[in-house]
Amino acid sequence: MFHVGGARSALYNWAVARKAGGTFVLRIEDTDAARNKPEWIDGIVSALAAIGIDESDPAFEGPYFQSQNAERHRQAGLQLLAAGRAYYCDCTREQVAERTGSAQLGYDGFCRDRGLEYEAGRALRFRTPDEGSTVVVDLIRGEPSFPNAAIEDFVIARGDGSSVFLIANVVDDLDEGITEVIRGEEHLSNTPKQQLLWEALGAVPPVWAHLPVIVNEKRQKLSKRRDKVALEDYLAEGYLPEAMVNYLMLLGWGPGEDREIRPYAELEQLFDIKDVNGSSAFFDVKKLAAFNGEYIRALDPAAFVAACTPWLRAPHAPWPAESFDQALFETVAPLAQTRITVLSEITAYVDFLFLDQPVDDEAGWAKAMKPGAAGILRDARAALAALAEGPSWRAEGLKAVLEAVSEKNGLKLGKAQAPIRVAVTGRTVGLPLFESLEALGRARTLARIDAALARLEP
C-alpha cells in the first residue's frame, strides 16, 4: 500500500529535484524484515511509476536498499564511539523505569561514564550534548528549537549490533549525497536527533522541510484503519493518474492563481517548497472526484474508450464477456464521458446494453412506477411499435414520439420519461433516454416495456 501522503511527499520531492536539475533518490528502508516484503516493494515502485516517477527519467535514481549498507551503518556507530560521542549501555527498560519512577520518562544517562565495552546485548547510545539547543532550519516551519536536555541519549545500535533507523538514515543520506529532505511532519520529532548525528559525523545537515499532515473531513489524520488512503485503491477505482497528481500537488500548496486544474509540467515550474502551508491539509474526496471528472471530460474519445476498457472487459464486469459489444459501446461513450467522475462508474451507465435484462432496482422501480405508469408504458409501447427499425429509430424521432405520449397523458416530458427509463434500463438516472433507446434497438426496447407491463399488470 502506497499512502496518498507518501505520494504527495514523492511528488514534492520530484518537483524540487527536477526543477533544480537534481536527483530524486528512491531508497527502500528494509532493515526491518517483518515490515518489508518483495511484493510491497514492487507496489511502491509501480505506484510511483503510475504518477510519473520512474527510471525512465534521468532525474530518478534507485531503488537503493538500506539493508545493503549495514556495514557502513555499523562503522559510523564505531566512529562516534571512538570520538566519545557514543557509549555502550546494558540497562533494561525496567531498570530505567525503576530509577526514574516512570516508564514514560526517557533514558537517564546511567551508563554514560561507566566505560562499558561491547558485549552481546549491550546497546550503543548517542551522547546528546548536556547544554544548548538544536535548532532545525525548516523551509516550511521556520526554526523550531529543541533543548538538548530534553533529548535523551538515544540508541543507535541494538544489542545484537544492528543499527537503528536513525543512524542508518543519516549514513545513507550522507553516502547518497542527499541535500534536501522533504517528508511528513510526523518525522519532525526525529529531526533534532538526526541533525545531531549529522554534525557528530562531521557533516553539514541537509535542508529540512516537513509537510503538513493530511486529514479527513473530521479533521482527523488520515488512517488506513478508518479512511481510504492507498493510492492504488484510488487508481483501481478509476481515478486517472493525472488527476491524482494534480490534486495531491495542491494538498498544502497552491499555484497562487484561481486555476487549479493544471498539467503536472506547469505545477512543477510553479512549485516552491517554501510556499507550502504548515497547516493540516484536508483530503476532500468530493473535490478529488470533481478534478477527476474534469480530466475524464478532457480525454479525446479514443482515449476515453481505452480508459474504460478495464471495467468493460474485466472478469468482474456485470455481464458475460461475450455480451460486450465494443462498437455499440463506442456509440454511447461520448454521452457517458460527460457524466462520470470515476471510470468505474461506466458499467452502471451502459449495463442495460449488455445485460439480457435491466438491473432490478427496487427503490428505483417504486419511485418511477407510481399510479398512471402503466398507462404511460402502454401508450409508449404502441407509439414506439409504430416506428420501424432503421432510420426511423433515431433519437430525434424517438423524442418526438414520446413527447406526444407525454402530452396525451398531461405530463411534462421529464415525468413521462421516468417509467420508460426504469422499464428499459432499470435505473432512474443514466444516459439520455432517447439515445439509450436508439442504442438498445427496437426489439429489445419493446420487449422490456412488455416485461414491465407484465410486472405492473400481472
* Same fold flag, 1-212 and 362-456: no
Each domain of the chain, given as residue ranges in start order, spans 1-212, 299-354, 362-456
Q: Is the pTM of this model over 0.85?
A: yes
The pLDDT, as a whole number, for residue 112 is: 96
What residues act catalytically?
A: 224
Cell 438498445 -> residue: 440
Taking alpha carbons only, the member of 82, 90, 86 closest to residue 156 is: 86
- Topology of domain 1-212, CATH: Rossmann fold (3.40.50)
SS3 string, the chain, reads CCEHHHHHHHHHHHHHHHHCCCCEEEEECCCCHHHCCHHHHHHHHHHHHHCCCCCCCCCEEEEEEHHHHHHHHHHHHHHHHHCCCEEEECCCHHHHHHHHCCCCCCCCCCCCCCCCCCCCCCEEEECCCCCCEEECCECCCECCEEEHHHCCCCEEECCCCCECHHHHHHHHHHHCCCCEEEEEHHHHHHHHHHHHHHHHCCCCCCEEEEECCEECCCCCECCCCCCCCEHHHHHHHCCCHHHHHHHHHCCCCCCCCCCCCCCHHHHHHHCCHHHCCCCCEECCHHHHHHHHHHHHHHCCHHHHHHHHHHHHHCCCCCCCHHHCCHHHHHHHHHHHHCCCCCHHHHHHHHHHHHCCCCCCCHHHHHHHCCCCHHHHHHHHHHHHHCCCCCCCCCHHHHHHHHHHHHHHCCCCHHHHHHHHHHHHHCCCCCCCHHHHHHHHCHHHHHHHHHHHHHHHCC
pLDDT at 33: 64
Q: What's residue 34's pLDDT? A: 66
| pLDDT value for 349 | 97
Cell numbers found for residue 141: 516551519
What is the CATH architecture assignment of 362-456?
Orthogonal Bundle (1.10)
Segments of the chain with pLDDT less than 50: none
79 burial (CB, 10 Å; 0-12 / 13-18 / 19+) is: middle
